[in-house]
Structure 1
Amino acid sequence: MDKPLNRPIQQTLNDFSFIGQDNVRVMDEVYEEDSFWKQLVKRIAKNKGSVFGFVTITLIIFMALVGPMISGYEFDEQIAGHESMAPRIPVMENFGIFDGSETLKTSTGELVVNKYETIEGGEDAYHWFGTDVLGRDLFTRTWVGTRISLYIALVAVIVDVFIGMSYGMISGYYGGKVDNAMQRSVEVLNGIPNLVVVTLLIIVLKPGLMSITLAIAITGWIGMSRVSRASMLKLKESEYVLAARTMGAKDMTIMYKEILPNIFSQLLIMSMFSIPNAIFTEAFLAFVGIGIPVPMASLGSLISENFKSLTTHFYMIVPPVLVLALLMLSFNLLADGLRDALDPTMKEV
């Protein structure tokens, strides 16, 4: 049997050829890495709910700032003869909707009434959301009331960040007797209902925005403090914290420069979720009659005032209810999108 010949393979230049164009040098392509904020915006943009919430909040803020200026009426202006007038909007009235007419139920049947045709100068009057029983423009009062809700949202975030976050971080970092004393104090405050706190504040102070602000400042930070305390207990024994302590870093430096950046995203999400709760608290207090005093308006006080006319003039309660619902829903959707963007692993759990 013949043995195979172990001959070397001979290759020539004709056995090789360039890939692509002839004599073209191929260069490595370098891709620029996106920054953290660009990646965050891209993740949020993929969430349709958070985009809807952000756009809605932006529009509501814009209307709260500009709306009262374009209506031509003051929020506390009572116009004689314009009581309980239905919505009338330019251009749309030409299509038979929002033309100022409303259907009233009587003992003999239904009656279509348009007060704009019966009052003097009514052909030039426009109330986009209608008027209340005192002749005040609801479009102006609704957006002025929205300013109160946005102010409450801002107060909730500030209280969470500056009081709740610091309180929880200090409690969790030092532990022991300090933590025990601080947590017992939180339990005492948490056991007092907000309604009782506001009532006591009204006895001492005048009813108004200051009483509601203090009520939120007294008890609104408790949830945030518990979240920040739990995060501090989890991270305070980490290697990088021990390294910073070994290098001689002070306690405040360790808390705010070493640990806080690692838990800030979680605290930001928590503060966003607390905004709808604060807005609802103000609306509830105004609805039961211990909120913003008249003639000042808030979404809760508007709902409380116009609820009495629900069966006769239902359009009075629709604008504040819709704005309040959209505002609370939008903040929830935006907070949910931030949670998914800052912690993408949440979707895999």
Structure 2
Amino acid sequence: MNNEEYVFAPDDFVLAGNDHDAFIDDTYFKQSYWKDMLSRFTKNKGAVVGLFVIFLIILMAIIGPGLNEYTYDFQTISHQNLAPRIELLEPLGIFDGSETMSTSTGMVEINKYVSEDGSLTGLEDTYYWFGTDVLGRDIFTRTWEGTRISLYIALVAVAVDMLFGMSYGLISGYFGGRVDMVMQRISEIINGIPTLVMVTLLIIVMKPGLGTITLALAIRGWIGMSRIARAQVLKLKEQEFILATKTLGAKDFFIIFKEILPNIFGQLIIMSMFSVPNAIFTEAFLAFVGLGVPQPLASLGSLISDAFKSFTTHPYMIIFPVIVLALIMLSFNLLADGMRDAFDPKMKEM
């Protein structure tokens, strides 16, 4: 046996250090949950486009009505039924104020901004970017005023979902038993009343307007969110971490809003985004059938309803409000779909 004594020099060993990232597989590199969520969201091109369009529409709703000298209720009878005219695009032969109309003698192209015999009409220096309606009101200004109402409805839908529907579903699912039975029967009774009937009854009692529509959405717009929140609570309330929290003496409402809610908040945000297009469509439908905001206020639904009467003769009146409404609903759907995949990729399979 060799009893030779070994002497180690200071440079015989190299410290591994405290860099824990060195032990992480490069394929699954370390990053926070929010960075991972943002990465998944940005990879969804449709969601990014939807978010950009929403920001653009919000910007236009803020500044759009102030981009020209007209107001949403300004009427000039001599300017009625004027086709769209844009100064920058007029030399290209598009949006030059001309429109093609069907008459008894065939298709005729007219331009009310200029006269056929060369006489002055007083409209040579007048520009309406989206044209005018049958009362001579600027459709561009009225469209973005109507967009403000649609965005307000979207905000109301999210607020009702998150403040009332979420709390209602959390409490109902957590306590269960008789409390859950009573709360669910109440929601089923409210949900059984058709929206159109409810709004009609509210209009009989109250004045027609945005407040009536807001109240109608607030009365029953939370039902879907409450059911989703209740289902999520039923899945989580028997988990071990909830049992441990109860063992430590935590109160019921602390468990609901401090333990359960953070674990399902992502799903609730997603579902509230999906409820926005439905709320906007409900307002547009009510306005279309004459139960919306009163004149001269304009929503996208009322603009479409008014322009529908002139669709065969002046189709431009309905095209722009329809495009804006479709973009709002499509963008919110794309955003909600992207948020669903970003918060929890497994939800896509559900």
Instruction: State if a TM-score over 0.5 links the two structures.
Output: yes
Tell me the SS of whatever aligns to 1:187: helix
Q: Give the superposition deviation at 1:245.
A: 1.1
TM-score, normalised via structure 1 length: 0.90
Distance 2:260 2:124 in 1: 65
Tell me the SS of whatever aligns to 1:122: coil
Distance 1:191 1:103 in 2: 48
The CA deviation string for residues 118-155 of structure 1, in whole angstroms up to 9 with x for no partner, is 46431211100000000000000000000000000000
Tell me the SS of whatever aligns to 2:110: strand
Distance 1:225 1:104 in 2: 51
Where do residues 217-236 of structure 1 align in structure 2 (5 Å cutoff)? 217-236=218-237
Q: What's the counterpart of residue 5 of structure 2?
A: none
Aligned-pair identity (%): 66
Asked if the contact 2:273–2:336 (Cα under 8 Å) also holds between the matched residues in 1, the reply is yes
Q: Give the superposition deviation at 1:35.
A: 3.0
Asked if the contact 1:156–1:275 (Cα under 8 Å) also holds between the matched residues in 2, the reply is yes
Distance 2:347 2:271 in 1: 15
Tell me the SS of whatever aligns to 1:286: helix
Distance 1:102 1:202 in 2: 39
Q: CA RMSD in A?
A: 1.7
Tell me the SS of whatever aligns to 2:108: strand
Q: What's the counterpart of residue 78 of structure 1?
A: 75
Q: Give the superposition deviation at 1:237.
A: 1.3
TM-score, normalised via structure 2 length: 0.90
Q: Give the superposition deviation at 1:215.
A: 0.4
Q: What's the counterpart of residue 279 of structure 2?
A: 278
Asked if the contact 2:161–2:222 (Cα under 8 Å) also holds between the matched residues in 1, the reply is yes
Q: Give the superposition deviation at 1:56.
A: 0.7
Alignment of 1:106 with 2:123, yes or no, is no
Tell me the SS of whatever aligns to 1:295: coil
Distance 2:108 2:39 in 1: 55
The CA deviation string for residues 229-250 of structure 1, in whole angstroms up to 9 with x for no partner, is 1111111111111111111111
Q: Give the superposition deviation at 1:347.
A: 4.9
Where do residues 92-241 of structure 1 align in structure 2 (5 Å cutoff)? 92-118=89-115, 120-241=121-242
**Structure 2: stretches of 5+ with no match in the other structure:** 1-14, 23-28
**Structure 1: stretches of 5+ with no match in the other structure:** 1-24
Where do residues 14-53 of structure 1 align in structure 2 (5 Å cutoff)? 30=21, 33-53=30-50
Distance 2:294 2:278 in 1: 21
Asked if the contact 1:71–1:139 (Cα under 8 Å) also holds between the matched residues in 2, the reply is no
- Of residues 111-120 and 30-39 in structure 1, the stretch that sits farther from structure 2 once superposed is 30-39
Alignment of 1:330 with 2:331, yes or no, is yes
Distance 2:171 2:190 in 1: 18
Larger radius of gyration: 1
Q: Give the superposition deviation at 1:91.
A: 1.1
What letter is aligned with 1:175? G
Distance 1:33 1:68 in 2: 48
Q: What's the counterpart of residue 22 of structure 1?
A: none
Q: Give the superposition deviation at 1:346.
A: 3.6
Distance 1:342 1:30 in 2: 24
What letter is aligned with 2:146? G
Q: What's the counterpart of residue 300 of structure 1?
A: 301
